Chains A and B, each alone.
Chain A
Amino acid sequence: MTTVEILLLLFLIACAISVFFIKNLLNAVIVFMSYSTIMAVLWLSIESPDLAITEAAVGCGVTTLLFILTLKKINALKEEGGEEDERTF
C-alpha cells in the first residue's frame, strides 16, 4: 500500500464521518460526492477500472444530481434568512 493510497483512505474516512456532522444539506451532498471521487481513484488502484468508471459516473455524477434536485424539490436549498440563489436552480 503506497503513501498516496493511505492518504486517500484517510480522506475517505474523514469524508464518510463528516457527512453525518454537517448541518447544511447541500454541503453534505458535496462532501458525499468527494467520497465517491476518492472511491473511484481507490477502485483504480486495486485494478478494477470498470468499477472506477461506474463509480465516477454514477456516484459523483448522477447520485449527486438527484440529491441536489431532491433538496431543491423540498425547498431545502434556501439559506436561513437569505434568498434562494435563482441562478443555480
Chain B
Amino acid sequence: MSGLSEEGKKDVKKFTDWVNANSEEIPPEIVYPPKHDDHHGHGHEHKEIVIPHEETLREKMAKREHIDENFQEEWQNVMQKANDDPSSPERWYRLASSIGGALIVLVLLITVANLPRFGSPDAPAMNEVARRYLESGLQETGAVNSVAGMILDYRAFDTLGESVVLFTATVTVIFLLQQKERNHNKEDIEAVDGNYKGIRSLPAKVIVAITFPFIILYGIYIVLNGHLSPGGGFSGGAIIGAGLVLNHLVFGQEFSEKFINVNKCKKLMAGGLFVYIALKTYSILTGANGINSHIPLGKAGSIFSGGLIFPLNICVGVVVACTVFSLYSLFTDWSS
C-alpha cells in the first residue's frame, strides 16, 4: 500500500469503509447473472448459477465441526455412564445380551449332543431317498459323481433357485452402486474410474504370474469334470473367479481387462442363467411327462456323459465366476 499515491490511499480507505459499513447487506448467496427488473422482456432465459457467499460457507463448516465434536462428547459421556453407573440401561443390555447368547449356545450344544451318531444306519437321513440316489443314481443320471447327479438332476430346480439368488444379489448390488455413481458430477467419476496399476511387490507378481494359469486351469477342470469327480459348477466357478480377482489385484486393471470386465460379466451371467433355464425346462417337460428325452446319457465315466449335467455345470460355473469377479470389481474404489 506504501506504493500508492495519497489519492489512491484515500480511495482504498473509502472502499474498505464502505465494505465495513455495508457488510450486513451483502446477500449470503450471489446469484449470477443478477436479477434485473423486468425491462428487457422475456427474450431469453439465463441459467442461474448460485455461488454461496464465503461467510455462509465458513459458518456451515464451523457448524458441522461443532456437531461432530458434540456428537463425540455425547457418545463418550454415554459410554462413561454405562461403565460407571450400575443401574444404567446400557449395562442391562449388555448383561441381557450375554445371557441370551449363552442360552442360544446351550440350546445348540444340547441339540448337537442328541443327534444320531455320524453314519449310523438308524439316522433319519438314511431313508429310502438316500438309498435310491446311491443305488440307481448312476443308471438314471449317468453321473459317476453322485453329488453332481443329485444337485443337477434330481434336485436341479434347487440349484436353479441358488443361481437365481446369486444373480439377483449381484444385479441388485450393481444397480445400487451404479445409481450412486450416476449422482456424482463428472470430476468424481473420473476419479472413481482411476486406472488401478497393480501392486508394486515383485515376489507377489512372480508368484501370481506362475500360479495364475494353473488356478484357472484347475477351476475349468473342476467345472468340466464335475459329473465324474468331486466339485462342480459352484466350486469350480468360485476358483475361476478368485483367480481372476487375484490377477486384477496384482497386475492391475489394464491387464485384467484383456480377460474380463464388468460388462462382459453381466452378459455372461445373464446368458449362463438363460441357458440353464432353457436346458432345465426341456428336461422337466420331457422327464415329468414321460416323453422320451433326446439327450443321451453317454457311457458312464467318459467326459461326455451324464446327459444335461455337463452343460448345466458349465452354466453354473460361468454364473458363479462372473458373480465373484463383478462383486469384487464393484467393491473396489481405487481412488481413495
- Residues in A lying within 8 Å of B, measured CB to CB: 46, 49-50, 52-54, 57-58, 61-62, 65-66, 69-70, 73, 75, 87-88
Give complex CA distance A46, B118 in Å. 9
Output the least CB separation between A52 and chain B (Å).
Answer: 8
Residue in A49, A50, A58, A73 whose beta carbon sits within 8 Å of that of B238 in the complex: A58
Contact between A57 and B200, CB atoms less than 8 A apart: no
B145 partner residues in chain A, CB cutoff 8 A: 50
B200 partner residues in chain A, CB cutoff 8 A: 87
Residue in B118, B222, B327, B332 whose beta carbon sits within 8 Å of that of A53 in the complex: B222
Contact between A62 and B242, CB atoms less than 8 A apart: yes
A52 partner residues in chain B, CB cutoff 8 A: 230
A66 partner residues in chain B, CB cutoff 8 A: 327-328, 331
Give complex CA distance A46, B241 in Å. 27
B328 partner residues in chain A, CB cutoff 8 A: 65-66, 69
Number of chain B residues whose Cβ lies closer than 8 Å to a Cβ of chain A: 24
Give complex CA distance A17, B85 in Å. 29
Contact between B238 and A61, CB atoms less than 8 A apart: yes
Could you tell me which residues of chain B, from 143 to 182, have a CB within 8 Å of some CB in chain A?
145, 147
Give complex CA distance A66, B222 in Å. 23
- B102 proximal to A (CB < 8 A): no
Contact between A87 and B199, CB atoms less than 8 A apart: yes
Q: Digitize B200-232: 1 where CB-to-A-CB distance is under 8 Å, 0 elsewhere.
A: 110000000000000000000010000000111
The total of interchain contacts (Cβ-Cβ below 8 angstroms) comes to: 50
Contact between A53 and B230, CB atoms less than 8 A apart: yes
Could you tell me which residues of chain B, from 230 to 266, have a CB within 8 Å of some CB in chain A?
230-232, 234-235, 238-239, 241-242, 245
A62-B324 in contact given A53-B222, A57-B238 (Cβ < 8 Å): yes
Instruction: Please list 16 pairs of residues, one from A and one from B, whose beta carbons are closer than 8 Å in the complex, sorted by A's number.
Output: A50-B235, A52-B230, A53-B230, A53-B235, A54-B235, A54-B238, A58-B235, A65-B242, A65-B245, A65-B328, A66-B328, A69-B328, A69-B332, A73-B333, A75-B336, A87-B201
A70-B331 in contact given A53-B230, A62-B242 (Cβ < 8 Å): yes
Give complex CA distance A87, B199 in Å. 6
A54 partner residues in chain B, CB cutoff 8 A: 234-235, 238
Could you tell me which residues of chain B, from 182 to 200, have a CB within 8 Å of some CB in chain A?
199-200
7 further A-B pairs in the complex, CB-CB below 8 A; given A50-B145, A73-B336: A46-B118, A50-B230, A54-B238, A57-B238, A65-B245, A69-B328, A87-B201
